[in-house]
Amino acid sequence: MSNTQINLKSLIGDHTTEEFLKLLKSRTPFISHGNSESLKDLMSLPFLDSVGNLAACWLDTVDVFNSEIADEISKSSVSPEDALHEYNNGSCILFNDVNRMIPEFDMWNQQIRKEIGFSELSFVRNLVYATPAGKGNAPHFDQNFNFVIQLSGTKKWWLAKNNTINNPMTRHVIGHPVDHELEGYSTKEFPESFPADCTEYILEPGSILFVPRGVWHMTEAVTDAVSFNFTFTPPTWIDIATTALREKLSHNEKWRESAILDNNGSNNNEFNKLIKGLSADVENWQSADFLDITEHQEL
């Protein structure tokens, strides 16, 4: 490894950090080409040189996508040897949590997370997708933010604005059942086909594509193609609030009591008392009361 690190600047091309943060908050994708030099610490790793090299040193199972669905909702987990065989026979495969390979990955992930401003509760990981020519991923949106780095080959992406739901907390694949929670807070019908007003992006080695949370996308490899993802799943304000609230309430022995329901569960006097007390406390709470708990830092 050289002394150069992969940081946020490595992933945003010619954008300043301020410009990138505006794109992130507005859920606006962008593509940047010719980043091989700024990404050399990543792209020069021997085990990322080919699918065969990665499979040879991989110590876990590999996900193989069902050719009929081409998405993680229908996959099987097989040995690296079997996955390489499936890939050579035309199946898309996915290496999960590649950040387990070397310590630098987790160091880079956390550095980038801090630079963006994502919470310490964020789920951060790295993925490697190997896609044979002519194959790709089914149209869907994710609940996370992705920086996609093309390591080898050429791959087409199509991205489209999501006019159905803002800030989804789970992913959805077009043409498949909607997650129960997602359906509960959606007020519009989900489309049955990919939006026509989409934008095409072509990734070649050294290209970076930023795919925001909730943006529709689908892919197709022009040639055999391998890509590396920096994937960030930050908590929502719901997650921050509920995590901190649990910690705060745990200091009160009444809240720690076992929940025993009376009146057939429709009304509970003890629970009502606790809720009324909580309502009075909430008026004096500030964001720092929550972030002091989740971020472990002075505010």
Question: Residues 26, 156: one domain?
Answer: yes
Number of domains in the chain: 2
Question: Residues 111, 172: one domain?
Answer: yes
pLDDT category at 297 given cuts 50, 70, 90 is low
Question: Residues 60, 86: one domain?
Answer: yes
Please tell me the predicted confidence (pLDDT) of residue 2.
Answer: 46
Res 299 pLDDT > 50: no
Res 112 pLDDT > 80: yes
Which alpha helices (H) appear in 149-236, and where do they start and end? Answer: 180-185
pLDDT category at 293 given cuts 50, 70, 90 is very high
3-state SS assignment for residue 4: coil
CA-CA distance, 299 to 297, in Å (whole number)?
6
Question: Residues 280, 164: one domain?
Answer: no
C-alpha pair distances (Å), 76 with each of 38, 62, 70, 147: 35, 8, 11, 25
Question: Residues 142, 92: one domain?
Answer: yes
Residues with Cβ within 8 Å of 285's Cβ and at least 6 positions away in sequence, in order, are none
Q: Is residue 2 part of a domain?
A: no
**pLDDT for 238-291, tens place per residue?**
999 999 999 999 999 999 999 888 767 667 888 889 999 998 888 889 999 999
Question: Residues 92, 133: one domain?
Answer: yes
CA-CA distance, 124 to 112, in Å (whole number)?
10
pLDDT category at 230 given cuts 50, 70, 90 is very high
CA-CA distance, 141 to 211, in Å (whole number)?
9
Please tell me the predicted confidence (pLDDT) of residue 43.
Answer: 94
The length of the chain is 299
Which alpha helices (H) appear in the chain, and where do they start and end? Answer: 8-11, 17-25, 40-43, 51-57, 80-88, 103-116, 180-185, 237-249, 269-282, 287-294
Choose the final residue of a domain: 235, 259, 278: 235
CA-CA distance, 72 to 250, in Å (whole number)?
37
Choose the final residue of a domain: 188, 209, 235: 235
Q: Quick one: average pLDDT of 148-152?
A: 98
Q: Is residue 183 part of a domain?
A: yes
The domain that holds 87 is classified in CATH as 2.60.120.650
Question: Residues 219, 253: one domain?
Answer: no
How is residue 290 written in tokens? 């929550």
Question: Residues 189, 266: one domain?
Answer: no
Q: Quick one: average pLDDT of 157-170?
A: 97
User: For residues 62 and 55, is the Cβ–Cβ distance under 8 A?
Assistant: yes
Q: Is residue 261 part of a domain?
A: yes
Q: Is residue 182 part of a domain?
A: yes
Q: Quick one: average pLDDT of 39-52?
A: 95
Question: Residues 70, 205: one domain?
Answer: yes
Q: Is residue 1 part of a domain?
A: no
Neighbouring C-beta atoms of residue 162, cutoff 10 Å: 21
Q: Which of 290, 234, 241 is nearest to 122 (CA)?
A: 234
**pLDDT for 188-224, tens place per residue?**
999 999 999 999 999 999 999 999 999 999 999 999 9
Strand-strand pairing, 172-173 and 140-141: antiparallel
**Residues of the domain holding 261:** 238-294
User: For residues 213 and 118, is the Cβ–Cβ distance under 8 A?
Assistant: no
3-state SS assignment for residue 112: helix
CA-CA distance, 171 to 142, in Å (whole number)?
4
Q: Is residue 202 part of a domain?
A: yes
Please tell me the predicted confidence (pLDDT) of residue 1.
Answer: 47
Question: Residues 51, 126: one domain?
Answer: yes
Question: Residues 195, 54: one domain?
Answer: yes
Choose the final residue of a domain: 189, 217, 235: 235
Please tell me the predicted confidence (pLDDT) of residue 67.
Answer: 84
Please tell me the predicted confidence (pLDDT) of residue 298.
Answer: 44
CA-CA distance, 32 to 51, in Å (whole number)?
24
**pLDDT for 49-88, tens place per residue?**
999 999 999 999 999 999 888 888 899 999 999 999 999 9
Question: Residues 103, 189: one domain?
Answer: yes
Q: Is residue 276 part of a domain?
A: yes
